Amino acid sequence: MVKFSPGDEYSSNSKRPRPSSAEEAPPVMQQRQERGIGLSGSESDMGIGMAAFIDPETLDCCICMEPLSSPVFQCSNGHIACSKCCELLYSKCHSCAKPIGKIRCLAIEKVIESVKVGCKYSCSGCTELVRYPERRDHESKCRYAPYLCPVSGCSFTASSKLFPEHFTTVHGATATQFSYDAWFTVTMDTDEPFLILEGEDMVFLLQNKMKPLGNLIHIIYFGPVSLEEQYSYQIEIKKEKRRLIMESFARSIVGICETLQDFLLVPIETYEENGQFTFEISFHRL
């Protein structure tokens, strides 16, 4: 379903003045901005030709229910299907059995290319407007997606940017800011379970667990699994003639399992006299 709003056309040749801000825009425009769906093209620099509300189902393939993306094909009766479904249906239309897969539906392709939608995590701070076919890919990588606190018994759920304050106020953790590609020093108590590490674009959590032979430390981040190979880190511990080095990729908090695969064992022999241990960390963003 597509709804058009007559009388809301703006262009450089219009006799009516163009709104100077979002507050002065017509009500239909404010509603469209709040819903985060609109038409691209000349919208930002040459004025808005038309305000429209589009039912998202109109932009999905009626067979696989996935967002349509170019190329889109139609049969001689006008029924459409995505390219993958054309192959699965052996080039026969699902509605009328006419041949499908050779005639492009250029009108639908043009609509798909022009429509932009807001991220479903806009309420958490995401301001991105993405092409409709790219919406799911963006949301799977969006840094504003909500994550569950990894502390046992804690039900706090929020975007990554809120976890530094949560850990410092609720769990008594310390937060440290750092820059990528630079070493920085960390000192922890042996019984200190967490340390928040704030990068320029990502929040990491260093977890510390006491064991009979020493402490296990490992690092996770509040972000999607798709970014796991984009953030690597090095940990180095020096104590007299001892030198321990670990290098790995930070793991996503999503789907993290109880069995640790990437960790560094800090031996008791490396502890300071006051029961603390010190090490160096360096993060790298690929």
- Residue 103 domain-assigned (yes or no): no
Quick one: pLDDT at residue 28? Answer: 40
- The model's pTM is 0.64
Residue 210 in any domain: the answer is yes
User: Does 31 fall in a domain?
Assistant: no
Ranges of residues in the chain whose predicted pLDDT is under 50: 1-37, 40-47
Torsion of CA 112, 115, 120, 121, to 10 degrees: 120
pLDDT at residue 11, as a whole number: 39
Residue with tokens 């039900």, as numbered in its chain: 155
Query: In this predicted structure, what is the pLDDT of residue 134?
Result: 86
Q: In 10 A of CB 200, how many CB atoms?
A: 10
Question: Is residue 107 in some structural domain?
Answer: no
Please indicate, yes or no, if residue 33 is contained in any of the structural domains. no
Number of domains comprising the chain: 1
Check residue 45 and give its pLDDT: 43
| Amino acid identity at 200 | E
Give the pLDDT confidence of 208-240 residue by residue, as tens digits.
999 888 899 999 999 988 888 899 999 999 888
CATH number for the domain that contains residue 233: 2.60.210.10
Q: Which domain holds residue 240?
A: 147-285
pLDDT for the residue numbered 164? 94
The pLDDT tens digits for 84-105 are 999 999 999 999 999 999 999 9
Asked if residue 131 belongs to a domain, the reply is no
Count CB atoms within 10 A of the CB of residue 265.
Answer: 14
DSSP β-bridge partners for residue 203: 198
At residue 13, the pLDDT reads 44
Is position 39 within any domain? no
In this prediction, residue 16 carries a pLDDT of 42
> What is the structure's pLDDT at 38?
52
> Is residue 12 included in any domain, yes or no?
no
